[in-house]
A and B are shown apart, each in its own frame.
Chain A
Amino acid sequence: MLSLVRSLWEVFRHTFAKRVTVQYPEQKAYLAPRYRGRIVLTRDPDGGERCVACNLCAVACPVDCISLQATEDEHGRRYPEFFRINFSRCIFCGYCEEACPTYAIQLTPDTEMGEYKRKNLVYEKADLMIDGPGKYPDYNFWQVAGVAIGGKDKGQAENEEAPTDIHSLMP
């Protein structure tokens, strides 16, 4: 009986306690930089597309919400002809980001993606592509990759030695 009175008192004391609610549209909760929200496609520091259309993100995606078509430009750089994410399916698991070999696809701390029409949740490449490098400002895939493209031959990448002519290697 006494314990009931005590718990009444304890609850009553909460009249003067600070409320924990975050009044959302006016105040916003802090979202960590690595929060898994809206997905973006990033660019290299020199402004080129990072995505090489390897399809690993689409393969890793557990709900099959990513679809893309690979193509190649005149310099031999692969890039996606179209890149489409259906956010009405996306579960924001971040597997695409983990699978991406070029840091192209990244999740951002933006969750305000509400729409009245379902089809508006299908984001095309133009909606996904941002101008910056995202979470990895210094990373430039084509400058560290050993692939030859127009303007960068084999051996010209960072930390890469010029290719060796194995025929000249004599014992």
Chain B
Amino acid sequence: MTSKLLPFLVIAVVLFVVLNLSAGLIWVERRLLALWQDRYGPNRVGPFGLGQIVADSIKLFTKEDWIPPFADKAVFVLAPAIVVATALISFAVVPFASGFVIADLNIGILFLLAMSSLGVYSVVLAGWSSNNKYSLLGGIRAAAQMMSYEVFMGLALLGTVMLAGSFRLTDIVEAQRGLWFVVPQFLGFVLFLIAGVAETRRLPFDLAEAESELIAGFHSEYSGMKFGMFFVGEYIGVILVSAIISLLFFGGWLGPLLPPGIWFAAKTMFFICFFILLRAALPRPRFDQLMSWGWKVMLPLALANLLVTGAVVLART
């Protein structure tokens, strides 16, 4: 009985934690941005302004859910669902602690990459179905950006896969008992971090929604909870990338004294805060800079990293 219920319990806990965290990140991000801009941010509603999360949710849910008459209705409705669905499905393979994982796939990393690639559809379809030139430009930008950054995102990860000898995320974490992979794979870590930021379309790589030039890019026409879904999707993406970084390069739940779940949460939270620091500090590059940076610098570096890692692993065996 308990063995049958356990997977459902894990699913419920993961969903609860991820969705609440992504809603809470609205508050975290605003407070942290404020901190780095010498302001206070939302601190009026409830203790430390935490009630702001509830207030924002109520606002989003009660706003008019408007579909423009010129939009392609079916696709327009579908697009925001895709981004949240793919991001949430990705969490199926993320181990929160030893054994605490929904599906411990033996191709976990490939599954993650596949799901993050599917996320592009959401943005492109949203831009396309809005029937608005700014939205379309945003969608095209997102497609080009995510295609080119996904290439070396996968390549950057392969170094850890080689060292661990497995695509399974729990195996990769267990392989880091002696030494976190951030030390032998530092270049891979930096590359993956940059690709991860680009993959979640966060600043400084938010060219798809660049408000100064494209108004809001692919979600210009979205309002109410559909717009909220894009936001939730983006935050889930941030949590996901932070979780993957801490799993692949920082030993996931491994750590002394504290229980494994706490270690994993702390590492993930650290990278979420780093994501927000990136947003607070860095300006947005031009689009051609972004593309040439991706193809001419990051991709060769990722390939070189792969070659050297491969040679070292080969020499050792």
Q: CB within 8 Å of B: which residues of A?
A: 4, 7-8, 10-12, 14-15, 17-21, 23
Contact = CB atoms under 8 A, between A and B. Distances in A.
26 contacts: A4-B281, A7-B281, A7-B282, A8-B277, A8-B278, A8-B281, A10-B281, A11-B36, A11-B280, A12-B36, A12-B281, A14-B35, A14-B36, A14-B37, A15-B36, A17-B38, A18-B38, A19-B35, A19-B38, A19-B39, A19-B40, A20-B38, A20-B39, A21-B38, A21-B39, A21-B40
A8 B203 CA distance: 13
A21 B278 CA distance: 23
Main secondary structure of the interface of A (DSSP, over half): helix
Contacts of B37: 14
B163 to A, nearest CB: 26
What 8 pairs between A and B have smallest CB-CB spacing? Answer: A11-B281, A8-B281, A14-B36, A21-B40, A19-B38, A20-B38, A7-B281, A11-B36
Contacts of B39: 19-21
Interface residues of B, number: 11
Contact of B40 (A7, A11, A14, A23): A23
Interface in B14-51: 35-40
Interface of B: 35-40, 277-278, 280-282
Nearest to B279: A11
Given A8-B281, A14-B36, A19-B39, 12 more contacts: A4-B281, A7-B282, A8-B277, A8-B282, A10-B281, A11-B36, A11-B277, A12-B36, A17-B38, A19-B38, A20-B38, A21-B38
B282 to A, nearest CB: 6
Contacts of B35: 14-15, 19
B297 to A, nearest CB: 9
Nearest to B283: A7
A161 to B, nearest CB: 63
